[in-house]
């Protein structure tokens, strides 16, 4: 089943996958903008938030759709050293697996459940494409010519 999010999520996931294949280990260690992030850390950040969205969707399948509080600034600051330190081989696998898993879960949502999430599920962005686009632009600035 395809929903309104499928095409954009798939397109940006494919760009992400293509980028992951082209990046060297050295590329992943390069600085990516402000606040001490590396290119690998930025990509691991995407995986974290894809897995977070997936965990919330699973929770909502058995519980009511509701808040899942997270101070993103604090979370990002706290996890930056961990995400920057993910080994390149694991990083490549995790980023791709996370993107595929959340896209598949979103695409498989029952239309009624999807409509309820759109109405009440403000802590999950079903358009994963927007987050990917933002951070791939960040990687492009750090590594001109690498982002498709």
Locate the domains of the chain by residue range. 6-142
Query: What's the burial of 27, exposed, middle or buried (CB within 10 Å: 0-12/13-18/19+)?
Result: middle
125 DSSP 8-state letter: -
Whether the predicted pLDDT of 148 surpasses 90:
no
Label residue 67 by pLDDT band (50, 70, 90). confident
Task: Work out the mean pLDDT of the chain and round it to a whole number.
Answer: 94
Q: For residue 100, is pLDDT > 90?
A: yes
> Is residue 1 scored above 70 in pLDDT?
no
Residues 6+ apart with CB under 8 A from 22: 146
**Percent of the chain scoring above 70 in pLDDT:** 99
CATH topology of domain 6-142: 1.20.120
Give per-residue pLDDT as tens, 18-37: 999 999 999 999 999 878 99
């Amino acid at each position: 089943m395809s929903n309104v999010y499928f095409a954009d999520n798939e397109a940006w996931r494919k760009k992400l996958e293509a980028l992951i294949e082209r990046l060297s280990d050295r590329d992943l260690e390069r600085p990516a903008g402000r606040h001490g992030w590396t290119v690998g850390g930025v990509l691991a950040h995407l995986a974290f938030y894809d897995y977070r969205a997936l965990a919330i969707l699973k929770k909502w399948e058995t519980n009511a759709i509701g808040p899942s509080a997270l101070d993103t600034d604090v979370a990002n600051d706290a996890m930056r050293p961990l995400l920057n330190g993910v080994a390149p081989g694991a990083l490549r696998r995790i980023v791709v697996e996370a993107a595929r898993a959340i896209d598949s879960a979103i695409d498989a949502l029952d239309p009624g459940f999807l409509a309820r999430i759109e109405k009440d599920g403000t802590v999950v962005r079903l358009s994963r494409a927007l987050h990917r686009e933002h951070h791939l632009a960040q990687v492009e600035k750090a590594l001109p010519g690498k982002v498709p």
